[in-house]
Amino acid sequence: MSKKISESTVRRLSLYLRSLREAVEGSAETISSEELADRGGTTAAQVRKDLSMFGSFGKRGMGYPTAELTRAIEEILGLHRRWRVAVIGAGKIGSALVAYRNFHSRGFEIVAVFDTDPAKVGAVWGGQRIQPDEALERVVSEREIDIAIIAVPGTAAQSVADRVVASGVRALLNFAPVRLRVPEDVALRNVDMVLELEQLTYALNSAEF
Amino acid sequence: MSKKISESTVRRLSLYLRSLREAVEGSAETISSEELADRGGTTAAQVRKDLSMFGSFGKRGMGYPTAELTRAIEEILGLHRRWRVAVIGAGKIGSALVAYRNFHSRGFEIVAVFDTDPAKVGAVWGGQRIQPDEALERVVSEREIDIAIIAVPGTAAQSVADRVVASGVRALLNFAPVRLRVPEDVALRNVDMVLELEQLTYALNSAEF
DNA sequence: GGATGTGAATGTCTTCACAGCT
DNA sequence: AGCTGTGAAGACATTCACATCC
């Protein structure tokens, strides 16, 4: 165990975790690498390799104990604690994120929402009063935000990123269709819906040879 | 050229395309692999490899002609035509998608929206009347939907996927946090926001060693 | 017996480095 | 001279296959 962990491995851990939670609910005591593979869309060998990077969780001949492995993966992914999230941009996407129930149930707490539009500031969404853009730096550091979700137009995204990073945030989830520059100790993930659609059109377009 | 194209290559083509459009607007006649690399967050060699998979677009000593390369990549990605999209599920996410202006400007036309909730059916969003779930099969095939965006709860997602695939759709963009099973000739991309957040918490959690 | 954990083999993607055009 | 296009090398990821242990 304990080599360098690839991004794909981490992504698969999240998928295994989901299957494990279902298995725990279905009160299965153990689960095999093969079943985890099936549900996660990969192979049994891959599952074993991924897990072996972090330790030895299974029992030979038996499989993996579901409850224990669930806790182990939660620990690896940092899900043993709750995380404080700010949503920046109270447009349609921001609104959908604030209302998204899966965040809360998976340990993510939206504790601040921001917008530049004075008409929106002051409104209350899901218990959060929308705060003005000027309050960004102060509130982000006071409220100890762990993760900033950027849901502003592309033109504003880099500036928002710079400001939250300067205020101490080390993880960004960016919905704007632009490539953000961040210091290398800041984690960044992009959700880019047009890009996903373009992967689909590529597939459609090449399929009709 | 003309070997098997990897998913990463296609993803990068979308990013190059974005930079190219900016370059065209800035009226740059040509662009070098190095500049494309910079803007796309990759290396010059990677840009040249990616492009060389599809042809020989550059001039040695000069770089790539921006306008021509833009058209070439649009052609490769299938963006020389418009695509007909259905959004299934008129919740918060569906609502954000219907309102998302970048779709339309990038060649994606939302031509149908569906929901099971009788209270929502009949409402008009962005020019689209929300249609009842029962109309899914009929409308999807009549309106010749190319791409279905699945924005329903996880429990309903597989059934919706099966139905649109049966109605002839060959490309799905899934926002539900479940692994969908589709025939192998159907293109599928997932947008999974909890999974993205979990990649971030992994990074945060390992950073504080 | 049955399923894990893991080196070794294979496959895939990225980077290097330079020949070949313009 | 400058920058592309591309085989070859290198890095990385996945799959195989089997010894190991419950």
Closest CA to A145 of A113, A120, A176: A113
pLDDT of residue B154: 97
pLDDT of residue A2: 67
Q: What is the pLDDT of residue B125?
A: 92
Specify the higher pLDDT residue, B206 or A208: B206
Strands (DSSP E) found in chain B: 30-31, 64-65, 83-88, 108-115, 124-125, 128-132, 147-150, 171-174, 187-190
CB contact under 8 Å between A15 and B96, yes or no, is no
E strand spans, A66-203: 83-88, 108-115, 124-125, 128-132, 147-150, 171-174, 187-190
Instruction: For residue B45, say whether its CB is under 7 Å from any atom of strand C.
Output: yes
Are B132 and B121 within 8 A, CB to CB?
yes
Q: What's the pTM value of the predicted model, to 2 decimals?
A: 0.96
Question: Residue B126's pLDDT is what?
Answer: 87
B91-147 pLDDT, tens digit per residue, is 999 999 999 999 999 999 999 999 999 999 999 998 999 999 999 999 999 999 999
Residue B202's pLDDT is what? 98
CB contact under 8 A, A147 and B197: yes
Residue A54 CA and nucleotide C8 C1' are separated, in Å, by 21
**Integer Cα distance of A154 and A176 in angstroms:** 5
The reported pLDDT for the residue numbered A95 is: 97
Which stretches in chain A have pLDDT values below 70? 1-2, 209
Where on strand D do bases come within 7 A of a protein Cβ? 1-7, 12-17, 20-22
Q: Which two tokens stand for residue A172?
A: 């960004």
The 10s digit of each residue's pLDDT in B141-195 is: 999 999 999 999 999 999 999 999 999 999 999 999 999 999 999 999 999 999 9
Closest-CA residue to A32 (of A59, A64, A68, A9): A64
pLDDT in tens, B41-92: 999 999 999 999 999 999 999 999 999 999 999 999 999 999 999 999 999 9
Residues of chain B contacting residue A96, judged by C-beta atoms under 8 Å apart:
91-93, 95-96
Give how far A26 is from chain B: nearest CA, Å.
16
Amino acid type, A159? S
Q: Does B147 touch chain A (CB under 8 A)?
A: yes
Residues 26-55 of B with CB under 8 A from A: 39-41
- CB-based contacts of A141, cutoff 8 Å, min separation 6: A167, A168
